[in-house]
Amino acid sequence: MKAFQTLRAMTSYELRLLLRSKWLLNFMLLLLIMAALFYFYGLKSLEADPQEISYGLADSGIKIDTGTIDPSYFGLEEIQQDESTIDEKSGYNRAMALLMNLSLWVMPIISLIFGTNAIVADKEDGRLSLYRTYQKPYFYYLLSKFLALSISLLVALGITYGLFGVIIFLTTDGAEISYYKTLILLNIFLIITFSALSVFIGAISSTRMQGLSFALCAWSFLVFGYEFIIFSIVDLIPYAYKLNSMLALILSNPIESLRVWSITKLNANYIFGPEYLIIDQWGQSGRFTNYVVLSSLFMIAIALFLANFTIAKRRDRLG
Average of pLDDT values for 201-218?
A: 92
- The total of other beta-carbon atoms located within 10 Å of residue 30's CB is 15
Of residues 1 and 78, the one with the higher pLDDT is 1
Question: Closest Cα partner for 90 from 269, 284, 305, 276?
Answer: 269
Of residues 75 and 101, the one with the higher pLDDT is 101
- The total of other beta-carbon atoms located within 10 Å of residue 46's CB is 20
In a domain, 99, yes or no: yes
For residue 297, the model assigns a pLDDT of 95
For residue 74, the model assigns a pLDDT of 54
Average of pLDDT values for 17-34?
A: 86
Q: How far apart are CA 188 and CA 167, in angstroms?
A: 20
For residue 57, the model assigns a pLDDT of 44
For residue 293, the model assigns a pLDDT of 93
In a domain, 79, yes or no: no
In a domain, 183, yes or no: yes
Q: Per-residue pLDDT for 285 more than 90?
A: no
Share of the chain above pLDDT 70, in %: 77
For residue 201, the model assigns a pLDDT of 95
* Mean pLDDT of all residues belonging to the chain: 80
Q: How far apart are CA 25 and CA 122, in angstroms?
A: 20
In a domain, 208, yes or no: yes
Lowest average pLDDT, out of 21-25, 72-76, 128-132, 289-293, goes to 72-76
Residue 206 phi/psi, 5-degree rounding, is: -100, -30
Q: How far apart are CA 149 and CA 287, in angstroms?
A: 29
For residue 306, the model assigns a pLDDT of 94
Q: At what angle do helices 138-171 and 174-204 cross, to 10 degrees?
A: 160
* pLDDT 10s digits, 243-257: 788 888 889 999 999
In a domain, 83, yes or no: no
For residue 221, the model assigns a pLDDT of 94
Q: Is 269 exposed, middle or buried (0-12, 13-18, 19+ CB in 10 A)?
A: buried
In a domain, 72, yes or no: no
Q: Per-residue pLDDT for 298 more than 90?
A: yes
Confidence tier at 210 by pLDDT (50, 70, 90): very high
pTM of the prediction?
Answer: 0.81
* pLDDT 10s digits, 109-164: 999 999 999 899 888 888 887 877 777 788 888 999 999 999 999 999 998 888 88
Q: Per-residue pLDDT for 262 more than 80?
A: yes
* Residues contacting 294, CB < 8 A, separation 6+: none
For residue 86, the model assigns a pLDDT of 39
Give the domain extent around 266.
Answer: 11-47+90-318
Q: Per-residue pLDDT for 300 more than 50?
A: yes
Give the up-direction half-sphere exposure of residue 132: CA atoms within 13 A in the CB hemisphere. 13
In a domain, 61, yes or no: no
* pLDDT 10s digits, 77-118: 555 544 444 345 566 667 777 778 888 999 999 999 999 998
For residue 93, the model assigns a pLDDT of 66
Would you list the DSSP string of the chain?
-HHHHHHHHHHHHHHHHHHT-HHHHHHHHHHHHHHHHIIIIIIHHHHHSPEEP--HHHHHT-----TT--GGGGT--PPPPPGGGTT-EES-SHHHHHHHHHHHHHHHHHHHHHHHHHHHHHHHHTHHHHHHTTT--HHHHHHHHHHHHHHHHHHHHHHHHHHHHHHHHHHS-HHHHHHHHHHHHHHHHHHHHHHHHHHHHHHH-SSHHHHHHHHHHHHHIIIIIHHHHHHHHHTTS-HHHHHHHHHHHHHTSHHHHHHHHHHHHTT-GGGG-GGGHHHHHHHHHTHHHHHHHHHHHHHHHHHHHHHHHHHHHHHHHH-
| Number of structural domains in the chain | 1
In a domain, 2, yes or no: no
Share of the chain above pLDDT 90, in %: 28
Question: Closest Cα partner for 119 from 253, 189, 215?
Answer: 215
